[in-house]
Structure 1
């Protein structure tokens, strides 16, 4: 791995950072105060992203995307991590899982998503099936050449903006050496399909303006043409997608941590107590040293994992390590930043408290820290037959 960025990568980083600072930062207070993104503001961010040529940048050029490799795309996500997720969601990055679209699905879902004409959302988590994805109860049973879907999904990010969802549902069961295991199939489901309802989700502590929704399916009939990939093989495409989203979480955590540090460092150098800058005190200066060391370590771990993905190397453990370490690093960095700012760190006048609050969800979604440790330890022990 070359630790230096290419000239093109440097340009991408600077372009996205400039975009976040000029188009995202100015609106963050509004989103924090109201918990909403005005539709015209979201549309404006999307339009500017399209004009910049970055919409769908994680897709191949021949499909209309920017064709960024995994490492460069991770750099994009890192810079977007500096801004409010309620706003950066409009800097469109459709689910990579849509690459599994075939035939007419490409014209109805894949290409419109890349062009910004349609927005997708992933529907996997259920009230009784979070980390235990195989325990999902939402089912799709065959009825002739169709499928009838019944069940509920929740915590579905930005489904309120979606034109269609990528639904994962149980379509059967198979016997394995470890007992019965559900077969999972992925479906493409349009908003407005009879029997499919998108409802307002929970009021979340983290990421105001970035909404979650509850999806209900009541005898929702889907033709076989809506199957994404192969019947009973939804996990084959889900596993590839989950790797990408975990890298995104790691990268955005690094970006957010750097923004917090960029606020804490000058404050420590300028804020005076007892006649000298607080940064001159070892109790504060050592915090800064630990913070930047952890940020750099998480950054390199994340970029290394992205490089492995781009090289076609096995990166399951490395991606899990990056997600685990970066998300837990962000919690520590934001907490220490509040300590450096003191009481002001908890006030709405500064964004530090928001970053601290937002950081909490990163250790939960896209695989909890416990799941990441399970993936890592399983990968280490598997060669020994354990």
Structure 2
């Protein structure tokens, strides 16, 4: 197996790393202190990301994206993940790949403007009574002549306050076994009956907001349906696979930054007449952090390689997300321990990385859900 990066991959990593250090790092303190990403700053970053060719990097070249393969996309996301989520995800957007399932008209109205940085999408699946159990979704879309009427409530909807339209998962019927069937709709947020409310205060990813969206008998035309009626789960699956890999990749970046800071501190900080890294209690922490990071990185890259081959399973992706998110929690915690009291002060990014790490084991599928997927894949072939 050849683990070497291609010249193109090295170039993408270098360009992305330079962009993050030059354009995003300087704004971290402001976003963390205020909890707000100013719209004018987001627009400025978006403009620079477009000029640098970093915007919509997950999209195929045919629609104006960078057309990165999964392995290169993991390397790209890893570099972006070193900084504030609000800065890199809002300013250097990666539109949902669900939009690729759209009709030519939907591509013109929704997908292509997102790739060009003219519109912003958000995805609404989670509800107050439906988190991991997607089948419990209550938001319902019913036919009304040639139109659809949608009613229900979504919450924890990431960056909806910066979005122009929502990619909505709603119940549209039942199958032969009586289970709910789902469909996906594209709904402009200025449609009558759609109400956007402030979400909850979150200790993780300050500046990257969540919202509550109410749909009160919202009428949308038949062409708002994305893909086929009743096939919402299948479409959502295409999104979940790529986003779980994305979560894993950004966790690698933050863990690497925390480890780099820890190594530097352990080499320069002296106690009892020598660098603290020479003490076994600190040196062994560094060794364990580095080993766990390497293992998570190799697992994530291998999963991305399988994704490019069309061979990645749900269990492969679940393993990558599980390992990377839990590795980040360990590395962030140990980094703070190595830094002592200063690790918890906001003069360093470690307390942010530590706080931000907590949500990664919850969103895009909890660690328990990932373990369930992995265990199920092992037992099913044996009939269990």
- Fold shared per TM-score above 0.5: yes
Q: 1:175 offset after TM fit, Å?
A: 3.6
SS at match of 2:19: helix
Deviations 1:332-385 (A, max 9, x none): 000000100011111111111111111000000000000000111111111111
Question: Alpha-carbon deviations, 1:170-226, whole Å to 9, x = none?
Answer: 1111242xxx31100000000200111111111101000000011100000111100
1:274-313 to structure 2, matched below 5 A, reads 274-313=272-311
Is the 8 Å Cα contact of residues 332 and 354 (structure 2) preserved in structure 1? yes
Bigger shift: residues 362-371 or 312-321 = 312-321
Contact persistence 2:303–2:312 (CA under 8 A):
no
Q: 1:349 aligns with which of 347, 350, 360?
A: 347
Uncovered stretches (5+) of structure 2, i.e. residues with no partner: none
Find 1:374's aligned residue among 356, 366, 372.
372
State the SS of the aligned residue for 2:37: coil
Gaps of 5+ in 1: none
| 1:85 to partner: Cα distance | 0.7
1:74 matched to 2:67? The reply is no
Residue 319 (structure 1) aligned with residue 320 (structure 2): no
CA distance in 1, matches of 2:8, 2:365: 32
TM-score, normalised to structure 1, is: 0.98
CA contact (8 A) 2:36 2:206 kept: yes
Matched with 1:121 is 122
**Structure 2 CA distance for aligned equivalents of residues 62 and 351 of structure 1:** 38
Secondary structure of the corresponding residue to residue 153 of structure 1: strand
- Matched with 1:105 is 106
Instruction: For residue 92 of structure 1, report the CA deviation from its aligned partner.
Output: 1.6
The answer to whether the 8 Å contact 2:126/2:156 transfers is yes
Q: Which residue of 2 aligns with 1:55?
A: 55
Match of residue 171 from structure 2: 170
- Equivalenced residue count is 383
CA RMSD between the two structures: 0.9
Which of 253, 266, 269 is the matching residue for 1:268?
A: 266
**Cα deviation digits, residues 44-71 of structure 1 (max 9, x gap):** 1000000011211111112111111111
Once residues 322 and 266 of structure 2 are traced to their aligned partners in structure 1, the CA distance between those partners, rounded to angstroms, is 28
Rounded to whole Å, the distance in 2 between the matches of 1:311 and 1:103 is: 27
Displaced runs of 4 or more, over 6 A: none
Cα distance in 2 for partners of 1:99, 1:66 equals 14
Q: Normalising to structure 2: TM-score of the pair?
A: 0.98
C-alpha distance after superposition, 1:126-177 (max 9, x if no partner)? 011000011001111111111111110000001111111100001111242x
